[in-house]
Amino acid sequence: MDFLSIRLNTVRPGILVPFNVYIKVADSFKHYLNEGDDFDQVRFDKLKSKGLKKFHIQQADEIKYQEFLSSILDNIHLESNDVKISIALDVSENSAQAIMVNPANEKSYSMAKSSSEIVHKVLADNDVILRQMVAQGRNSNSNLAERMQGHLVNTASIAIKFAATLKTNINISSLGTAAFYHDVSFTQYSSEEQKFFFKEIKSMSVGELSIYKTHPEKSVMTLQDKSFAEPEVLALIMAHEENLSGVGFPKKLTKLTQTQEILSLCAFYDREVSCLGKDPLTIYENIIIDQVGNYSLDLLKKFKTFMKSYL
Ligand SMILES: [Fe+2]
Ligand SMILES: [Fe+2]
């Protein structure tokens, strides 16, 4: 049985939950609350005081969970920032996890799409949410797979919020879905090769770089023959390491659509911070000088203004 995790503060005593709730004890899942019941305040507070942070629900109940969420999302402006951040992180982390385990599954794809829409809605509320969300996704103490999951979540949330601030007619759902998938081929590499995702390109050997450069195409391959995968999403994944100066890969393109350029810039930025551990403030200060030519000056200026709002 597969489970999704939900943070404690997205549910609360007095609200009926439309799914069975479980608690993870050691490596097993213990049934805690029946579908249609509400949380008892005393029991709930006791779990919180013991340091429990997440409940679990069966993945089969995901549709019921989505319905439960949409009722909260209808009045999201009434919720605290903590609740908004928890919802955005719950849906994104569950999607990134599903994608990394089962990239070719239609359910994983639809989770990425619906998460993109939810994150878009939640992040629209204010700038504090993105700052805290991104900070929580960066955990250098985690193992490489967890760090990659954090990078996928962060790239998606940064790209979604940045595109939304540009107020153009970008398809946010495609952009977000592609951001969740962009490095999904990570799981197909050996543990030695997975380290390349956390290594500076300039410090890679020729052999290492030629292996690393195969990852956009491999990510696309996981979805290529799937009827549910939209062509725009596949093109975005394929071009996420390209840039306007023609030194990107795999095709050394010199022309990108606006959405491709946004995904490339956001994936580049978050790799610098989440994967290579660089200081966001230093990147903020140098991004125009360092990246002019790789991205249009206009987009870099807008990205810098955008970064300032949540650094
Ligand atoms: Fe990549
Ligand atoms: Fe990446």
* Ligand of minimum distance to the alpha carbon of 185: 1
CA separation (Å) from 306 to 140, 165, 287, 311?
25, 8, 12, 9
List the beta strands (DSSP E) in the chain: 3-7, 21-25, 28-33, 54-58
Confirm or reject CATH 1.10.3210.10 for domain 75-308, answering yes or no. Answer: yes
How many CA within 13 A on the CB side of residue 42?
Answer: 0
* Ligand of minimum distance to the alpha carbon of 248: 1
Cα 18 to middle of ligand 2, angstroms: 36
Cα 59 to middle of ligand 1, angstroms: 28
Q: Three-class SS of residue 33?
A: strand
Instruction: Give domain limits for the chain.
Output: 1-61, 75-308
* Ligand of minimum distance to the alpha carbon of 148: 2
pLDDT, position 221: 97
Cα 266 to middle of ligand 2, angstroms: 9
| Cβ 146 vs Cβ 136: under 8 Å | no
- Percentages of the chain per state (helix, strand, coil), in multiples of 5: 60, 10, 30
Tell the residue number behind the tokens 């569950």, with chain if given.
Answer: 94
CA separation (Å) from 194 to 25, 73, 82, 147, 183?
30, 37, 33, 11, 11
CB atoms within 10 A of CB 272: 18
What distance in Å separates the CA atoms of residue 156 and residue 114, rounded to the nearest whole number?
12
| Cβ 167 vs Cβ 302: under 8 Å | no
- In this structure, what token pair is assigned to residue 293? 């030519």
Considering the entire predicted model, what is its pTM? 0.94
pLDDT, position 73: 87
pLDDT, position 215: 98
What distance in Å separates the CA atoms of residue 161 and residue 229, rounded to the nearest whole number?
23
- In this structure, what token pair is assigned to residue 14? 């007095």
| Cβ 121 vs Cβ 173: under 8 Å | no
Cα 270 to middle of ligand 2, angstroms: 7
Cα 136 to middle of ligand 2, angstroms: 17
* Ligand of minimum distance to the alpha carbon of 155: 2
* Ligand of minimum distance to the alpha carbon of 154: 2
Q: Three-class SS of residue 206?
A: helix
* Ligand of minimum distance to the alpha carbon of 271: 2
How do the pLDDT tens digits run along the chain, 311 residues long?
A: 789 999 998 888 888 899 999 999 888 999 999 999 998 899 889 999 999 999 999 988 988 888 888 888 888 888 899 999 999 999 999 999 999 999 999 999 999 999 999 999 999 877 888 998 888 878 767 899 999 999 999 999 999 999 999 988 899 999 999 999 999 999 999 999 999 999 999 999 999 999 999 999 999 999 989 999 999 999 999 999 999 999 999 999 999 999 999 999 999 999 999 999 999 999 999 999 999 999 999 999 999 999 998 78
Tell the residue number behind the tokens 């919180």, with chain if given.
Answer: 48
